[in-house]
């Protein structure tokens, strides 16, 4: 089980990733969580990342790739994984491809969470995270449009993208997601 959870900030990727990682017993790798822990712990990564995160900007690809490379070196990654909030740029997606080849890991399926802008803004402002002020929320959505949105086409072309309607409450989204994976699995089997 190798998955990328892709979607705008506030789409519920983290909630779904944590439910499913627990159910499937695979690591849930959230670059946002790793960065927040590094910032709180004032590690060298945290010190380099914190102004970017606070401004709602992306942390430079080189820093993100270093932390992902290190994480892929851990033995628990062999069972499968869910990547949440990574990749977020085309350069990260290409670097991930190289990493997977190097670690002899299969290419993941990508779940894209589609949510209306109105719901995204409401959810982000409701969770009250430090980087969820009105100004950073707006900036994070802009950055998503310019830097992350192109990944939808990138993975669509590979025919590994499944779109999930993320506008519903979390438990309904989990059900839709699992049902979509089953349908996808059986259509892949039918093609063999």
31 binds ligand AMP (CB under 6 A): yes
- Nearest approach in angstroms of CB 68 to ligand AMP is 8
Residues 160-179 that bind ligand AMP (CB under 6 A): none
Listed in sequence order, the residues at least 6 apart from 56 whose beta carbon sits closer than 8 Å to its beta carbon are 131, 135, 136, 137, 138, 139, 140, 143
Using CA atoms, how far apart are residues 47 and 49, in angstroms rounded to an integer? 6
Q: In terms of CB distance, is 71 or 140 closer to ligand AMP? A: 140
Q: Does 58 bind ligand AMP (CB under 6 A)?
A: yes
Q: Which of 109, 108, 118, 129 is nearest to 166 (CA)?
A: 118
Provide, rounded to whole angstroms, the least separation between the CB of residue 38 and ligand AMP. Answer: 10
Choose, by CB under 6 A, the member of 29, 35, 65, 82 that binds ligand AMP. Answer: 35
Give phi and psi for 57, each to the nearest 5: -95, 165
Cα–Cα distance between 190 and 184 in angstroms, integer? Answer: 10
Closer CB to ligand AMP, residue 146 or residue 175?
146
85 phi and psi angles, rounded to 5 deg: 85, 10
List of residues contacting ligand AMP (CB under 6 A): 9, 31-32, 35, 52-53, 56-59, 64, 85-86, 88, 92, 131, 140
């Amino acid at each position: 089980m190798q998955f990328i959870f892709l979607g705008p900030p506030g789409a519920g990727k983290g909630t779904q990733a944590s439910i499913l990682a627990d159910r499937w017993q695979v690591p849930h790798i959230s670059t946002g969580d790793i960065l927040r822990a590094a910032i709180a712990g004032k590690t060298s990564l945290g010190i380099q990342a914190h102004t970017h995160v606070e401004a709602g900007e992306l942390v430079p690809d080189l820093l993100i790739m270093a932390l992902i490379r290190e994480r892929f070196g851990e033995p628990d990654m062999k069972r499968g994984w869910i990547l949440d909030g990574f990749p977020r740029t085309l350069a990260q997606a290409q670097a991930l491809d190289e990493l997977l080849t190097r670690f002899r890991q299969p290419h993941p399926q990508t779940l894209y969470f589609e949510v209306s802008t109105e719901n995204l803004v409401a959810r982000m402002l409701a969770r009250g995270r430090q980087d969820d002020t009105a100004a950073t929320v707006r900036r994070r959505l802009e950055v998503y449009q310019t830097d992350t949105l192109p990944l939808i086409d990138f993975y669509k072309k590979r025919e590994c993208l499944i779109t999930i309607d993320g506008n519903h409450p979390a438990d309904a989204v989990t059900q839709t997601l699992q049902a979509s994976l089953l349908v996808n699995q059986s259509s892949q089997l039918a093609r063999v």
